Structure 1
Amino acid sequence: MLTATALLVTGCSSEPPRRDDSPIGWKACNELFGSKNVDVLQEQMGGGQLRIENQSYPVRDLTAGLIALARGWEPGSGAHLSAAFNPCQIAISKNGERLTSDVRWFQFSMSEIQSGDVSEEWRNVGGDVLASEDSGRGIEFIFPCKISGTHKGQEEGLPLKVLLWGVGMPNFNTDLRGNMASAMARKLSSELGCVNKPAIPREITLA
């Protein structure tokens, strides 16, 4: 039985592996999105070998970086704005299909977003999550996450923002996108140890 870390999907013995040999990258993608969702994504991406295109690192390194930034934050500080993490990028190079994820602390506070003082249109999609659609194939979502040991205003003033989008993927349907977004939000909330325990719906979608 194949482990979740390996995830080398093969057909006949003469066929090459469907996924490239990037165990750290595939493990991170499976942890963030859920292995079943990654399997469905593979089916939707069609023929060709799937590759991990970002610099692979474990989820614990991602969350450690985010926690360090949050603990160094204070009102008026912009030091966190240049730091973005790309924990999972899956692509089929020959036809340009690509799934990209981006995680960072957001530059606006929850009150600024909810009052409409930002250029993007955000709306509640359940629980504590606000979302905005990006060019039809992408979804951005934010939620408040209080990190232990941070400034008292960090939860409201520094929400977490995640972008998930597909390029050249006409079959990247809203159900899969919503399921992957929800899985990622719940995993990040757990691994970051958000003390406010944000409510995250089982599916994040704007459809």
Structure 2
Amino acid sequence: MTMRVPLSTTLCAVVLGAAVLSGCSGGAEDDRTAPADLPHCELLLGKRNVSTALDAMGPGKQVVSALPVKELTGQLVSEAKAWKRADLQHDSYSACRIDVLGEEEGAQVLEATVKWSALLLDSMSEPKHAKTWREVNDQVFVELDAGRPAARLLLACGVPGAAEGQALGLPMEVAVSDSGLDEALRGKLLSEFARALTKSVGCTNAPQVPPTLPE
């Protein structure tokens, strides 16, 4: 049996459908539409961590800029392979930056950066570093400064094809800064970021970064 639909009902359905589609196609101007670069941040920082951070940062237009993991990895590996012991200047890469533009509280910012560091693991026991840096294990150190909304990890990461001694002579420095997130969440973001990088770069020494960092 064929069900017949009155013409008036059909017209109403078409009009209603067009209205719904129009309301759903707000495009990039709709704050609820996920920015195109957000998946890159989720791969590096963890999807759940990013979601929790966005909730904490409050409502507003999200502006995201991020490097694809493959591109970021290629730049880090290339720089490490070209390293010489006399090199002290290294590029810093903004792997993920999220700005939430609120109307009342201003912009809330979350940024994750990485670079090959001029700091050395052997220097972490020196008084000027021992005040703020804590040893996680013999290949990983963390700096959690309660006075600043930021945290850093310093870790040995041997890059395949790099010069001998690169792992200790050119450690990786990973950082997360924000506009005042919970310290525990900041630590999770930092840990996930570091673990994602060591996996993508393929650190030959396999540094062990725990999911929970010491406070």
- TM-score, normalised with respect to structure 2: 0.78
1:50 corresponds in structure 2 to 62
1:84 to 74, 92, 114: 92
2:4 corresponds in structure 1 to none
Q: 1:49: how far off? A: 2.0
1:105 to 110, 116, 119: 116
Q: 1:129: how far off? A: 2.0
2:205 to 175, 193, 196: 196
Ranges in structure 2 where 5+ consecutive residues have no aligned partner? 1-22
Q: 1:113: how far off? A: 2.6
Is the Cα–Cα contact under 8 Å of residues 120 and 132 in structure 1 kept in the other structure? no
Is the Cα–Cα contact under 8 Å of residues 138 and 166 in structure 1 kept in the other structure? yes
Is the Cα–Cα contact under 8 Å of residues 127 and 200 in structure 1 kept in the other structure? no
Ranges in structure 1 where 5+ consecutive residues have no aligned partner? 1-11
Q: 1:52-67 to 2 correspondence within 5 Å? A: 52=64, 54=65, 56-67=66-77
Q: Which moved more, 1:119-128 or 1:189-198?
A: 119-128
1:93 to 79, 86, 101: 101
Identity across the alignment (%): 25
Q: 1:29: how far off? A: 0.3
Question: Structure 1 residues 14, 108: closer, same or farther in 2, change over 3 A?
Answer: closer
1:178 corresponds in structure 2 to 187
Is the Cα–Cα contact under 8 Å of residues 90 and 117 in structure 2 kept in the other structure? no
Is the Cα–Cα contact under 8 Å of residues 138 and 165 in structure 1 kept in the other structure? yes
Question: Structure 1 residues 147, 200: closer, same or farther in 2, change over 3 A?
Answer: same
1:124 to 131, 135, 138: 135
Runs of 4+ in 1 over 4 A off after TM superposition: 12-15, 116-120
The count of residues paired between Structure 1 and Structure 2 equals: 186
For residues 33-85 of structure 1, the C-alpha deviation after alignment (integer angstroms, 9 at most, x for no partner) is 11011111111011112211x3x33111111101011001121223xx24110
Distance in 2 (CA, whole Å) between partners of 1:146 and 1:189 is 9
Question: Structure 1 residues 182, 116: closer, same or farther in 2, change over 3 A?
Answer: same
Distance in 2 (CA, whole Å) between partners of 1:179 and 1:86 is 18
Q: Which has more radius of gyration?
A: 2
2:157 corresponds in structure 1 to 145
For residues 142-191 of structure 1, the C-alpha deviation after alignment (integer angstroms, 9 at most, x for no partner) is 11000011111101111000110112x3xx11121111111111100000
- TM-score, normalised with respect to structure 1: 0.81
**RMSD between superposed Cα atoms in Å:** 2.3
Report the residue type matching 1:193 in the other structure: G
For residues 69-104 of structure 1, the C-alpha deviation after alignment (integer angstroms, 9 at most, x for no partner) is 1001121223xx241100101111231210011110
